[in-house]
Amino acid sequence: MSKHIKDKLSLTDYDNEFSFKKNISNLNISFNRVAFIFFVFFIVSLIFSIKIFYFGSISNKKISSLSLIKKDFRSDIVDTNGNLIAKSVITNNVGINPNLVKDKKKLLLKLQIIFPNKNFDQVKKKLSKNKFFYIEKKMSPEKFDKVRLLGEKSIIPEQKITRIYPQENLFSHIVGQIDDNNNGISGVEKSFDQELKSDKEPLKLTLDTNLQFLIREELIKAQEIFKNIGSASILMKVNSGEILAMISLPDFNLNKREEIKDVNYINRVTKGVYEFGSVFKTFTFASALNEGVIEPDTEFKDLPKKITCAGKPIGEYDNKIPSDLTAEQILIRSGNIGSVRIGQKIGKEKLKAFLQDIGVLNKIEFDIEEVGEPMPIRWGKCKLATVSFGHGITTTLLQLAKGYSIISNGGYNIRPTLIKRASIKNKKERIIKKDVSQKINPILRKIVSTKEGTANFANIEGYEIGGKTGTAQKSVNGIYSKNKINTFVAVFPTSKPKYVLIVLLDEPKPNKEYIYYYKDGSGWKYKGTPYNTAGWTSVEIAGKIIERIGPILATKYIEFD
């Protein structure tokens, strides 16, 4: 028996030996399998190794920025000092889908613990309707977390972007607003919509919150004194065009999100187009200097008190104005007839070209869309005469600031801006002769510092203020009314101009009780507003503004040699 088994075993061995070739082939197959498994493991380990290297090499900044990506993103808007002007916050809303509720009683009990003050009879009714509804909007993060921790499938949490304006009214005409879908609908929010949605860094404006506040406060006080229906002011750097403050009153609280249709809420700096009157005489004078047709000491003799053009009289505001004046005296005393004579020396084509060059005639390109367009002018002999002293020509306050900046900064073109840029790459382009500024700045100073000038109340000691007043009758539907637009353009310090400040009062009224303090060192006071002109209204307010903002400008924006 055992021998038989042995024989059988040896036969098996023989079989194995016999299929040796086949076995080698099997071995080849298994080797390929092993290599395949090896390859798979190798690839997996390679992937993870790459991942480790990636995490090792990624910078901290990238990690932090990745973690902050939000679906509805809108970057903040800050002022020149980094103070918040607009900020996005994510608000939490919680809704309920009744179709997904398993146990209504249990859900209501849970919700009653989180919202003890809620009317749950209404919630019950809504639950029975089987339609999605919000249980609460703009919840606190703590409450939101509590609701989420309930783990109910029927509770749908939702996060939405909301814009908050911590400065309330202060920047209302500039910043604008956004709609419910995170789209800018006005102001900077609209013009820089794409940048605000894509840039992680806040959008930095050139505006200074403190200056903006101080100027606004003085304009509000002016409204109490002169009962004007509105007012506006702009403070701009004459060399760079950076706007430090821009206020238009009345304004509104951006956080209330009201739809305002009253035209009195117009942005009087950029959108309002006005006839500014005598402030345009500086442009006529500068154009004449630029063309070389006059010098400051050029004499004009036998100037009449009245002339007529196309049957319409042109007279002097002050009949005591002498008949013989130099060009400089014409500007200081704000002579109408003298300005007409200067304008006639320039000629309409050259005056038009000059006004176009300094950017007061056509619509300006600006950082916000709310920009007004000056009325077109039909140039003729009479138009040349009226434009020379600032009548029959309109522009915006922003463009007026631009024009004065170019005239006083050495003749360099500037682009007014609200956006703080790391470096202004634009090469300085001189558009008027250098000596125009050198000749005109001392004259602007005399308008404020001498008794003949019309802006003595702005002569604040230490600031070398120069400027020009403008009193114009408001036109309604093309007809002049008794209401006035009083404007004062200040440029300071006149020895090396840095800033232009304009104050506009819309329909100011004389105040019998207001006390004026003379700035000539005499200590005199004067009670009541004798004339409803810029010299007694806008100049007074501009002086008060410069007194308050001056120390900030002097110390904060000082440029050391």
Partner 1 sequence: MKNFFLVSSIVFIVLLTAVIKNSSKKLETKIYDVRENLSILSERYDYIFLENNYLSSPQKLIEHKNSIFQDEYVLLNILDLKILKENNGEIIIQNFNKNE
Among 167, 186, 240, 278, which residue interacts with partner 1 (rule: CB under 8 A)?
Answer: 167
Q: Is 214 in the site for partner 1 (CB under 8 A)?
A: yes
DSSP 453: S
Beta carbon nearer to partner 1, 238 or 355:
238
Q: Is 556 in the site for partner 1 (CB under 8 A)?
A: no
Q: Alpha-carbon distance 199 to 193, whole Å?
A: 10
Taking the complex as a whole, how short is the minimal distance between the CB of residue 547 and partner 1, in angstroms? 6
Taking the complex as a whole, how short is the minimal distance between the CB of residue 460 and partner 1, in angstroms? 8
Q: Is 157 in the site for partner 1 (CB under 8 A)?
A: no
Q: Alpha-carbon distance 414 to 471, whole Å?
A: 26
- 139 vs 101, 149, 220, 238, 512, CA distance in Å? 22, 15, 37, 48, 54
3-state secondary structure of 234: strand
b/e map 484-507, b = 16+ CB within 10 Å: bbbbbbbbbbbeebbbbbbbbbbb
The amino acid occupying position 346 is I
Among 10, 49, 130, 426, which residue interacts with partner 1 (rule: CB under 8 A)?
Answer: 49
DSSP output for 257-321:
------GGGS-TTTT-EE--GGGGHHHHHHHHHHHTS--TT-EE-S--SEEEETTEEEE-S-TTS
184, exposed or middle or buried, with CB in 10 Å at 0-12, 13-18, 19+?
buried
List, in order, residues 6 or more apart from 280 with CB less than 8 Å away: 387, 388, 389, 390, 393, 470
Beta carbon nearer to partner 1, 73 or 133:
73
Beta carbon nearer to partner 1, 65 or 264:
65
Tokens linked to 247: 């206020």
Q: Is 57 in the site for partner 1 (CB under 8 A)?
A: no
Q: Is 52 in the site for partner 1 (CB under 8 A)?
A: yes
Nearest C-alpha neighbor of 494 from the set 540, 427, 454, 439: 439
Beta carbon nearer to partner 1, 283 or 463:
463
Tokens linked to 510: 């004389």
Taking the complex as a whole, how short is the minimal distance between the CB of residue 49 and partner 1, in angstroms? 6
Q: Is 166 in the site for partner 1 (CB under 8 A)?
A: yes
Q: Which stretch binds partner 1 (CB under 8 A): 33-41, 92-100, 394-402, 520-528?
A: 33-41
Q: Is 517 in the site for partner 1 (CB under 8 A)?
A: no
- 510 vs 223, 399, 525, 527, 534, CA distance in Å? 11, 28, 16, 11, 11
Beta carbon nearer to partner 1, 152 or 464:
464
Beta carbon nearer to partner 1, 48 or 379:
48
Query: HSE of 207 in the Cβ direction (CA atoms, 13 Å)?
Result: 29
DSSP 544: H
* 241: enclosing H helix or E strand: none
Among 258, 349, 461, 520, which residue interacts with partner 1 (rule: CB under 8 A)?
Answer: 461
Q: Which stretch binds partner 1 (CB under 8 A): 1-9, 162-170, 345-353, 365-373?
A: 162-170
Q: Is 418 in the site for partner 1 (CB under 8 A)?
A: no
Q: Alpha-carbon distance 184 to 197, whole Å?
A: 10
Nearest C-alpha neighbor of 392 from the set 339, 331, 327: 339
Among 126, 160, 257, 548, which residue interacts with partner 1 (rule: CB under 8 A)?
Answer: 548
Beta carbon nearer to partner 1, 209 or 394:
209
Beta carbon nearer to partner 1, 347 or 493:
493
Q: Is 462 in the site for partner 1 (CB under 8 A)?
A: yes
Q: Is 143 in the site for partner 1 (CB under 8 A)?
A: no
Among 73, 120, 133, 213, which residue interacts with partner 1 (rule: CB under 8 A)?
Answer: 213
Site size toward partner 1 (CB under 8 A) is 45
Q: Which stretch binds partner 1 (CB under 8 A): 106-114, 179-187, 317-325, 460-468?
A: 460-468
Q: Is 547 in the site for partner 1 (CB under 8 A)?
A: yes
Q: Which stretch binds partner 1 (CB under 8 A): 64-72, 259-267, 290-298, 404-412?
A: 64-72
Q: Residue 19: what are its φ and ψ, rounded to 5°?
A: -95, 35
Q: Is 493 in the site for partner 1 (CB under 8 A)?
A: yes
Among 77, 139, 155, 170, which residue interacts with partner 1 (rule: CB under 8 A)?
Answer: 170
Beta carbon nearer to partner 1, 37 or 109:
37
Q: Is 83 in the site for partner 1 (CB under 8 A)?
A: yes
List, in order, residues 6 or more apart from 293 with CB less than 8 Å away: 342, 345, 346
Among 6, 28, 37, 109, which residue interacts with partner 1 (rule: CB under 8 A)?
Answer: 37
Q: Is 258 in the site for partner 1 (CB under 8 A)?
A: no
3-state secondary structure of 428: coil
Taking the complex as a whole, how short is the minimal distance between the CB of residue 167 and partner 1, in angstroms? 6
Beta partners for residue 430, in sequence order: 412
Q: Alpha-carbon distance 137 to 88, whole Å?
A: 16
Among 189, 218, 242, 464, which residue interacts with partner 1 (rule: CB under 8 A)?
Answer: 464
End-to-end CA distance of the chain: give it in Å, rounded.
Answer: 121
Q: Is 225 in the site for partner 1 (CB under 8 A)?
A: no
Q: Is 521 in the site for partner 1 (CB under 8 A)?
A: no
List, in order, residues 6 or more apart from 175 with CB less than 8 Å away: 77, 85, 86, 165, 187, 188, 189, 254
Q: Is 34 in the site for partner 1 (CB under 8 A)?
A: yes
Among 45, 159, 183, 253, which residue interacts with partner 1 (rule: CB under 8 A)?
Answer: 45
Among 9, 28, 89, 124, which residue interacts with partner 1 (rule: CB under 8 A)?
Answer: 89
Question: 3-state secondary structure string, 22-62?
Answer: HHHHHHHHHHHHHHHHHHHHHHHHHHHHHHHHHHHHCCHHH
Residues that bind partner 1 (CB under 8 A): 31, 34, 37-38, 41-42, 44-45, 48-49, 51-52, 55, 63-64, 66-68, 83-84, 87, 89, 164, 166-168, 170, 209-210, 213-214, 461-464, 493, 495, 547-548, 550-551, 554-555, 558, 560
